[in-house]
Structure 1
């Protein structure tokens, strides 16, 4: 694991061998849930009101959760579940499943391919394992605390880029209806990155950008605001792939932070400078 907040969170006793077996079973669970969502994927799901949209989003979530719960619960019977995807902040003591049953759900409903199923086990506020499955490509990304990150069993490494001016960077909108201060900060940060980076990508969901940082395809990702479910899986993947994690001011990142920056070590400092303008 790289020198980041993920290595400074409250350390919990770990059995790497047993957690590795648990991760393998978690990967199977997200793949099964992804298959169920893939069967529902196709054309645009039309909605005329916000209420209709929310019902369609909830229906996708329930389909995936109906697969995830009976598979993950027996793996750690004492672990509790985070019920609300958009919540942030520290968790109470113990083990928790932080799951996003349809990460990028709104894309799924609009016939767009950028969506996934994620599951992360958090132990004493430290992510210990995470699995992310992309049903349309069949790819499964996994990370184990102090055990590395991989794509379908192949090790992942962040990019070796050292020049932000040659870097591909990305950002995402954490949720609809952000307050004005957050939306203005998003806009000004994109403008600043357009001056300093080679190319800026903007889309949802955050997890898919973070997967690309971990795989070395994107050099940096930042986001203002956010929730545990959309940042924890990717943050662990990036950290275990050798990346650096902080908030947008360079402070250690936690689930209580108001921003996140995940970057290749060679551009992290410059990205911080850009975001501070």
Structure 2
């Protein structure tokens, strides 16, 4: 399929996907409370699973129906390349831990991945009603308005972010996170350390932040933001400077003017 044909097909698909994700967001919004839910770890985990189950009950079938023959990536915390074909990579509650703790940084995301390349994504923030969309070759948008990454060229003036990808990261990954934050605190302006990844990557795509990096291959937290940043004019690589792929073990998305400088700081730590 040519890129032009692909873009046309995905543009036709976008309204149906956006409608499904928005409807799913309404379900997650209905479950949101102004108080934290769960005291013991087991209670918090139960609330997280209940959120996932409630959203997937209204999101999975519409997405599979929208793209006949597509497949579903079951484990939202899994990483690595997928088999060839079209896959839905979905996070029914991106930032689920924030949701159950009555914090505002959460969303519903759905990304169509074709032969291990994200080609369409929708990120919906139910609390604000904002919807971020992108198609490969078609640009990135917020509520229909075109997005562009930051024009900054000085890492010392940059707002940069990172965060852990999942609970229970191994010790080596945690040490690299700490070392990289220290390095960026020295070289950047301000470093944000928070979850989830997508809620930082939308800021990179919108030009509000200059970069986001992560030592992770959790695909559901990266594919949506990777496509948004790339289509907004950003650079998305691994920490060796090679084009990022689902098989990558680490990740950097940045505005073009600061990507090289960020890579110089982070690559020795990777």
- Distance in 2 separating the partners of 1:273 and 1:194: 14
Counterpart mapping for 1:206-245 below 5 A: 206-245=197-236
- Distance in 1 separating the partners of 2:267 and 2:7: 38
Contact 1:173 1:223 in 2 (8 A): yes
Q: Residue 79 of structure 1 corresponds to which residue in structure 2?
A: 70
Contact 1:226 1:259 in 2 (8 A): yes
Q: List structure 1 runs of 4+ shifted beyond 6 angstroms.
A: 10-13
Quote the RMSD (CA, aligned, Å): 1.5
Is residue 174 of structure 2 the alignment partner of residue 183 of structure 1? yes
TM-score (norm 2): 0.96
Q: Residue 41 of structure 1 corresponds to which residue in structure 2?
A: 32
- Distance in 1 separating the partners of 2:150 and 2:37: 40
Counterpart mapping for 1:129-168 below 5 A: 129-168=120-159
Q: Residue 102 of structure 2 corresponds to which residue in structure 1?
A: 111
Structure 2 unaligned regions, length at least 5? none
Q: Residue 55 of structure 1 corresponds to which residue in structure 2?
A: 46
Contact 1:11 1:124 in 2 (8 A): no
- Distance in 2 separating the partners of 1:76 and 1:261: 30
Q: Residue 128 of structure 1 corresponds to which residue in structure 2?
A: 119
Q: Residue 91 of structure 1 corresponds to which residue in structure 2?
A: 82
Q: Residue 3 of structure 1 corresponds to which residue in structure 2?
A: none
Structure 1 range deviating more: 133-142 or 39-48 = 39-48
Higher relative CO (CA 8 A, sep ≥ 6), structure 1 or 2? 1
Contact 1:12 1:123 in 2 (8 A): no
Q: Residue 19 of structure 2 corresponds to which residue in structure 1?
A: 28
Structure 1 range deviating more: 37-46 or 111-120 = 37-46
TM-score (norm 1): 0.93
Distance 1:220-1:52 versus aligned 2 partners, 3 A rule: same
Contact 2:88 2:110 in 1 (8 A): yes
The alpha carbon displacement at 1:123 in A equals: 1.2
Number of residue-to-residue matches in the alignment: 268
Contact 2:25 2:108 in 1 (8 A): yes
The alpha carbon displacement at 1:12 in A equals: 7.8
